[in-house]
Chain A
């Protein structure tokens, strides 16, 4: 059973405190929304969980293993996958190759053809199987986003962090992404979803984390968090929600 613990994470950039004493625990296949106004430290927190940044102090444990000291690929192998705010497909590689990379990286002795079938399933699930042999740069922005989600399925992590999965996406693709989250979550993978889209995040997630200028000001059921005076104050004038 998955357990991710972040213990009292601090992060300074020069003199700027971006995260202050952020602690939370994820247990089992939770579906968590992470919100906060611009500059609240959401992306920094993601980068720390993922190993791209080292915390100034504090630790992150996953299933009993310390992961904040590992490089990003070590964290990925420990079972944590993430997407980026701006889509980062491998543009001059085919869609299939994009999908094979995480699968191959996870297993030292595997060969490409072992995963082609699984890749096909993933592409069908994401409704882009016809683009299998296209270069990723030929895909539209939304399709590239789906490709990123597909790569995560091939990585097969226990926990997935999605950074703004709905930003600037056509409504029809939004349905695909929505279905992706709920179905994969039902299969037992935990999610942390960062989003500005309040409506979606409130309907989708079963637990909300709210960051405000580096402080974790709320953590709990979306309905309760919504009424939290601190959260209301943080969002007053920031966003319409």
Chain B
């Protein structure tokens, strides 16, 4: 990095005014008897955006802090961040090479879709049961393991579709059994302090599943073959300038290059997402689920059995994690521990998007996918940056929890 100082000072500037805005704004708003629920977070991002040039007008005019205002401020912060980075390191691939940037973006979005799908499962569970499943990563891991062993060891040559379906069935079944045995008693008042119980018992499940898989398989990393190789295609036929497909890769406009496994995984995820939305908004059971998430008692009065909705939500959430794992086992190498960072990522996503919010989870997934793509592609001093990668998401998580525990979307389904 050539002019690291520029970047450092820009970061310091953003942090300083952000912190000042976050601390002072609620006081200003409180003094004027205005609503302060958004003041801390809004003040922080607005301060981070333009420093004193935005904070002083904010404190004098004290407008209502709308989500649009916050959105604009966030966009400015991101813009400044990128500009400072470009100024500081003009030779970086992320600055100098447009094709590379677009490729990274596309890859970030593609992987973000899958992250979003996994987090969707977690947020579905939270919105119905009010529980964060700490075993979510293990369902993801099991989904991948089942798919790998089906296609590679048990029935070689079986269609990946069958393997993916099998992993769905397995994760759904484990989720079902676990919910029936361990979470169902929470509803009946048999268990005191249910929230803490749920944290610990899902934690125990994670521990159990992880070591069970390790005992059954081994600690050797595995990786599945790509499910659906692309046909070799070139459009136009001679140069492939518009679209060029090899079995392992697709290149569009000679610029955006996406590896086949990621592409198919994202496609699978999108199909699953469409199916999930159809299920939630068009079927009776899906509507019942949403009703329970909005008002448990009212839903119970209309004849919906909230207990069976709990079971359904938990098993479906587990299945969504399993499905993400099943589609990613051809992208990453797989170990019994692979669920831990994946779960951590899901926590970041749902906290960022707002616990229990479906659109929030999906958007959060995209953001985290993009940030990771930028992080791996753009940061110089690669070894050190790589070691910090697990921490970036966690920094987001802790900051959101401290500044705006409701996340981007609050709670809605």
Contact = CB atoms under 8 A, between A and B. Distances in A.
**A and B: direct contact (Cβ < 8 Å)?**
yes
Interface of A: 10, 12, 14, 56-57, 91-92, 137
A94 to B, nearest CB: 16
B33 A57 contact: yes
Contact of A14 (B33, B35, B192): B35
Contacts of B192: 91-92, 137
Nearest to A54: B30
Nearest to B193: A92
Interface string B176-216: 00000000000000001000000000000000000000000
Contact of B35 (A12, A57, A92, A137): A12
A218 B35 CA distance: 29
Interface of B: 33, 35, 37, 192
Q: Is the interface of B mostly helix, strand, loop or mixed?
A: loop
B136 to A, nearest CB: 30
A12 B36 CA distance: 11
Contacts of A12: 33, 35
A91 B193 CA distance: 11
Contacts of A91: 192
A14 B37 CA distance: 8
B313 to A, nearest CB: 28
Contacts of B35: 12, 14
Nearest to B35: A14
10 contacts: A10-B33, A12-B33, A12-B35, A14-B35, A14-B37, A56-B33, A57-B33, A91-B192, A92-B192, A137-B192
Contacts of A10: 33
Given A12-B33, A14-B37, A91-B192, 7 more contacts: A10-B33, A12-B35, A14-B35, A56-B33, A57-B33, A92-B192, A137-B192
A137 B192 CA distance: 11
Nearest to A57: B33
B34 to A, nearest CB: 9
A137 B37 CA distance: 36
A50 B170 CA distance: 53
B297 to A, nearest CB: 16
A96 B35 CA distance: 42
Contacts of A137: 192
Nearest to B30: A54
A10 B37 CA distance: 17
Contacts of A14: 35, 37
Nearest to B37: A14
A87 to B, nearest CB: 16
7 closest cross-chain pairs (CB), A and B: A57-B33, A56-B33, A14-B35, A12-B35, A92-B192, A14-B37, A10-B33
A56 B37 CA distance: 13
B63 to A, nearest CB: 15
A100 B5 CA distance: 59
B406 to A, nearest CB: 14
Nearest to A55: B33
A12 B37 CA distance: 12
A12 B34 CA distance: 9
Nearest to A91: B192
A241 B98 CA distance: 77
A12 B64 CA distance: 15
Contacts of B33: 10, 12, 56-57
B391 to A, nearest CB: 34
B179 to A, nearest CB: 26
Nearest to A14: B35
Nearest to A15: B35
Nearest to A13: B35
B264 to A, nearest CB: 46
A113 B19 CA distance: 48
Nearest to A92: B192
A91 B192 CA distance: 10
A187 to B, nearest CB: 37
A203 to B, nearest CB: 35
B302 to A, nearest CB: 23
B173 to A, nearest CB: 36
B332 to A, nearest CB: 45
Contacts of B37: 14
A14 B192 CA distance: 34
B30 to A, nearest CB: 8
Nearest to A10: B33
A185 to B, nearest CB: 36
A56 B34 CA distance: 8
A140 to B, nearest CB: 16
B10 to A, nearest CB: 36
B133 to A, nearest CB: 26
A92 B193 CA distance: 11
Contacts of A57: 33
B192 to A, nearest CB: 8
B26 to A, nearest CB: 12
A35 to B, nearest CB: 27
A92 B35 CA distance: 38
A92 to B, nearest CB: 8
